[in-house]
A and B are shown apart, each in its own frame.
Chain A
Amino acid sequence: MLKEEVVEEKKVKSYRDIMAGSKAVATAVKLCDVDVVAVYPITPQTPIAEYIAELVANGELKAEYIKVESEHSALSACVGASAAGARTFTATSSQGLALMHEVLFIASGLRLPIVMVNANRALSAPINIWNDQSDAMASRECGWIQIYVETNQEALDSVIMAYKIAENKDILLPVMVNMDGFVLTHTYEPVEIPSKELVEEYLPKYEPLISLDPENPVTMGAIADPNYYMELKYSQVKALENSKDVVKKEQEEFYKLFGRKYDLIEKYKMENADIILATLGSVSGTIKDVIDKLEREKGYKVGLVRVRLYRPFPKEELLDALKGAEVVGVIEKNVSPGIGGGALFNDIKSALYGKSDAKVIGFVAGLGGRDIPPWDIEKAIEICTLAKKEEVEETYWLGLRRW
Chain B
Amino acid sequence: MEVAADIPSYVKCRKVCKAKLSANRCFKFRKLLKKVSEEELFSKGHRACSGCGAALALRLALKAAGKNVIVVQPTGCMEVVSTPYPETSWKVPYIHVAFENAAAVASGVEAALKALGKKDRVKVLAIGGDGGTVDIGFQALSGMLERGHDVVYICYDNEAYMNTGVQRSGSTPLGAATTTSPAGKVSFGEDRPKKDMPRIVAAHNIPYVATASVAFPLDYMEKVRKALEVKGPAYIHVLAPCPPGWGYDSAKTIELARLAVDTGMWILYEIENGKERITYKPTVKKPVEEYLRAQKRFRHLSKDIIQRIQEEIDKRWKEIFES
Contacts and interface: CB of A to CB of B under 8 A. Distances in A.
Interface of A: 35-36, 38, 62-64, 66-70, 72-74, 76-86, 88, 102-103, 106, 110, 212-214, 217-225, 228, 232
Nearest to B103: A73
B93 A213 contact: yes
B266 to A, nearest CB: 30
B93 A218 contact: yes
Given A35-B115, A63-B115, A103-B98, A81 B90 contact: no
A69 B92 CA distance: 29
A222 B88 contact: yes
A152 B98 CA distance: 35
A344 B113 CA distance: 41
23 contacts: A36-B111, A66-B111, A70-B139, A70-B140, A72-B101, A73-B139, A76-B101, A77-B107, A79-B105, A80-B95, A80-B97, A80-B104, A80-B111, A83-B105, A83-B108, A84-B112, A86-B116, A212-B93, A212-B95, A218-B94, A219-B90, A225-B84, A225-B85
Given A86-B112, A106-B98, A212-B95, A221 B147 contact: no
A382 to B, nearest CB: 49
Contacts, number: 159
A220 B109 contact: no
Contacts of B107: 38, 66, 68, 73, 77, 80
Nearest to B91: A217
A214 B67 contact: yes
A211 B220 CA distance: 30
A80 B106 contact: yes
Contacts of B155: none
Interface string B281-293: 0000000000000
A212 B105 CA distance: 12
A80 B109 contact: yes
A104 to B, nearest CB: 11
Contacts of A224: 85
Q: Nearest 7 pairs between A and B by C-beta?
A: A80-B108, A77-B108, A69-B143, A73-B104, A221-B96, A84-B112, A86-B112
Nearest to B87: A222
Contacts of B93: 212-214, 217-219
Nearest to A225: B84
Contact of B139 (A69, A79, A213): A69
B143 A79 contact: no
Contacts of A74: 104
Nearest to A38: B108
B69 interface: yes
A35 B112 contact: yes
